Amino acid sequence: MTRATAFIPARAGSKGLPGKNKKDFAGKPLVQWSIDQAKASKLFDKIIVSSDDPDIIALADKCGVIPHERHPELATDESIVDEVIFDFFVRPENKCKYICQLNPTSPLRTPEDIVTMYKFIKMKKYFSVVSVKWSDFIGWVGQASNKGPICSYNIDKRPNRQTRKDYFLENGAIYWVKYDVLIAYGNMIGNPERVKLYEMPLERSLEIDTPFDFYIAEKAYEYTSMGLTN
């Protein structure tokens, strides 16, 4: 049985930044960063690139990884990535022990991030491992009908930045899950009580969804390439 499989979801469509997954980022298509990082980790028996874009399918083949032509109904703006992943891995021929989702929109992750998270997913106590970024969250949640948004803190004791609790937000870069957990729960998380959070620094947590995101990621790449990070 295959031990570890990397799954890179890279559909053609994108409202925020059309064609983003094949857009050139620092000298190569955005999706190729995920392919190269997966290879560099030396963890995977299989690397899958799932797309409905012929150019991305061809790129995957050129890079020596496995292209997966996604069904049109799983390549819409409403499609949920977990459903795409489940549809692929529920087939007996794709069974493995561990699954790693690498989103093309996070080119600044490193192979070392992938490897470190792999060490956690091998532990029995964890169902999944999720990459996150730190956030000093203080804000308002949604809109509660006609009553206005919900405040996340006591307005009589509005906290200073230094005294706020730590919050962690998923940065979308890396998800590891045990195969049996994906099949049982139908998603990449499983039981939230059995999740390990892996914190990544903000400069490696950038996620590209808009032209502005792309610009910031390019600047962050230049910044990290110059060795200016801690």
List 11, 91, 158, 161, catalytic entry: 158
> CA end-to-end span of the chain, whole Å?
40
Task: Give the DSSP H/E element, type plus range, for residue 163.
Answer: none
CA distance 198 to 106: 15
Q: Is 158 a catalytic residue?
A: yes
The DSSP 8-state label assigned to residue 166 in this structure reads P
Angle of helix 111-121 versus helix 30-41 axis, rounded to 10: 50
CA distance 94 to 10: 19
Q: Tokens for 91?
A: 């087939």
Burial label for 193, CB within 10 Å (0-12, 13-18, 19+), is exposed
CB atoms within 10 A of CB 215: 11
Handedness of CA 85, 172, 222, 19 (dihedral sign): positive
Question: Locate tokens 């064609």: which residue?
Answer: 19
Give the catalytic positions in this structure.
158
